Amino acid sequence: MKRIIGGKLYFTFLITLLFLGNLINVQAQDPVLPATNLGLTNMLDGAAPPPGFYYQNYTQVYKANGFYDSNGKKTSGDLNVNYLLSLHQFIYLSKIPVLHGNLEFTVILPLVKLSATGTMAKLPGVNPVVLGDVTVGGGIQWSDKKLFNKGFWSRAEIDLTIPSGSGKKEFNINPSAQLYTLSAYYAFTFFLNKKFSVSSRNIINYNFNKSRANDRPGAFYNVNYSAEYTLVKTLRAEVAGYYLKQFRQDSFNGNSHYYQEKMGVADTREQIFAVGPGLSYQTSSGVFLEAKVFFETAAKNRFEGVKPSFRIGIPLK
């Protein structure tokens, strides 16, 4: 199976931390989650091309339609934070055997243009610098295995996001979360028959204290999923989406009850769900293209909106 690692040159664990899921908390009372992989990788995510070097670019446009509180109700203000993301990923899938799979490595560099819109007299300050936080990672790719006598491809990875991007205190909205985030994920693609397949990437994220602050967003889980159908040999359609759930409260100086006791914030945990259609196409030279659009719902403590996404994977060998 010749394709650019299922959706992201699908070795990426670092991908896990670069996708602007939430850039600012309009309540400005507790820290927001760092960017993570929300819908960057869906189609055939567990699959991988032959060993070699690969480049993948992800482009996402996010248009928020409102901020939702901890009860899932839209707030009265009309402040929205939007972005244009260009994510650059470099992947090396080696021939080194590990646990019956192949060792792989990845580096991710995000560039993001942020903006804030609304009718308020003074909008939050937006950092004009586009450099986000670099992610590095590695893992094991298992290709062309069998599960219930059907094709099964999978990958396990660990990523580290480094606060290397621009994050300045004079701005309310920055491209860098100024956090160290350790992420671990397991992705798979299961071929039910010649036409149908399902894919998923399950990610656990743990945040370390900000570089120059004592507040820390709580650990969270997110998953990308897709159900895929082959229209013709090189063209596939999908129903894809993602889900994020923060399962630990934000903390200050190690106190996970700080925002409840000191600021009256009942629940600081975030949530979002999205679904939408997509198409992928692979050329005879191995270039992989994917286009999709996500419609978000069920937001809590974060913005909700629409997110078109485009991916191109290119073999470099």
Domains and CATH numbers, the chain: 5-315 (2.40.160.40)
* pLDDT score of 315: 96
pLDDT tens profile 102-129: 999 999 999 999 999 988 878 889 999 9
Spatial separation of the C-alpha atoms in residues 243 and 37, rounded to whole Å? 10
As beta bridge partners, residue 261 has none
Which two tokens mark 125? 């300050």
Spatial separation of the C-alpha atoms in residues 178 and 133, rounded to whole Å? 8
* Cβ 307 vs Cβ 274: under 8 Å: yes
Give the 3-state secondary structure of residue 3: coil
**pTM metric for this prediction:** 0.90
pLDDT tens profile 37-93: 999 999 999 999 999 999 999 999 999 999 999 999 999 888 899 999 999 999 999
CB atoms within 10 A of CB 128: 10
